Amino acid sequence: MVKVLVLTGFGINCEEETAAAYRMAGANADIIHFNQVLVNGYSIHQYDILHFPGGFSFGDDLSSGKVMANKIRYKKLPSGKTLLEEIKQFLDDGKYVMGICNGFQMLVRLGLLPNSNLRFTQQASLAHNDSSKYEDRWVYCKVNKMSETPFLKGIDILPLPIRHGEGKLVFGNDTMRQIVKTKALNCMTYCLADGTEISEYPQNPNGSELNCAALCDPTGQVFGLMPHPEAFLSLYNHPNWGQIKRKNPNISEEGDGLQIFKNIVNHVLEQREVEAE
């Protein structure tokens, strides 16, 4: 059984649907408070996937995900190491990390994404949406065909809900933007329903550079996105499910967002089979 650790606490509020997504994908998911890890020394290494859910850690008071990222980077665990050091070992062991919305903001501020040089230094940040307001609606996302992250295997276009006020991804300079493009780390972009990429509002809900909705690292082991796939686990989550069902009565009742979770769970299982041969 694939084991997933879903972290919660300090204002994170999407842990239940996130755990449900992994369970629907065939994994065993445990929801653990951050303090169990940061204070009590609960080990992340008994798991295959580490997940940072969406929500509003520390109320986004300083900036989204920043306080939580600093606790992960600097707070000493009972072992004397930081959680960031433990995550580096977790990745060295061939395991996987995913972050959604607030979790994505944490990963970016930790330097886990895009991490183009694999040195875990911050190379991007998140700013307030260009609309100057909190956006809570559905968007379409197009998967970069050059991306090799297993999270997105076989996916082309995804309709997903977004709900954030600070989702504009910005890079330090043109060189960094070019590196992200060249290495296909901009693994998902905002688009029209037919997959046509478009960077204008409202299709791009926040003004992200490179029209970027998601990032992965060069290894493909770390993946994060601003939209919420855990909020589209059933066809009936979609606001237009009635019309979709009438047009195609035999359509699967699974939500499109579930495929991301099924992908990574199946990938871990496939890896185990290869290692066992």
**Tokens 């303090």, residue located:** 35
Q: Please give the Cα distance from 207 to 211 (Å, whole number).
A: 7
**Would residue 230 show up in a list of annotated catalytic residues for this protein?**
yes
Q: Give the residues across from 49 on adjacent strands.
A: 4, 96
Helix spans in the chain (H)? 15-24, 34-38, 66-74, 83-92, 102-110, 174-182, 241-247, 258-276
**How many residues belong to the chain?**
277
CB-CB contact of 210 with 177 (8 Å): yes
**Would residue 101 show up in a list of annotated catalytic residues for this protein?**
yes
Q: Which of 15, 230, 238, 267 is catalytic?
A: 230
The helix/strand/coil state of 136 is strand
**Would residue 187 show up in a list of annotated catalytic residues for this protein?**
no
Q: Please give the Cα distance from 92 to 210 (Å, whole number).
A: 29
Q: Which of 51, 228, 238, 267 is catalytic?
A: 228
> What element of type H or E holds 78?
none
Burial class (CB in 10 A: 0-12, 13-18, 19+), 46: exposed
Q: Which of 101, 141, 187, 191 is catalytic?
A: 101
Q: Which residues are catalytic?
A: 101, 228, 230
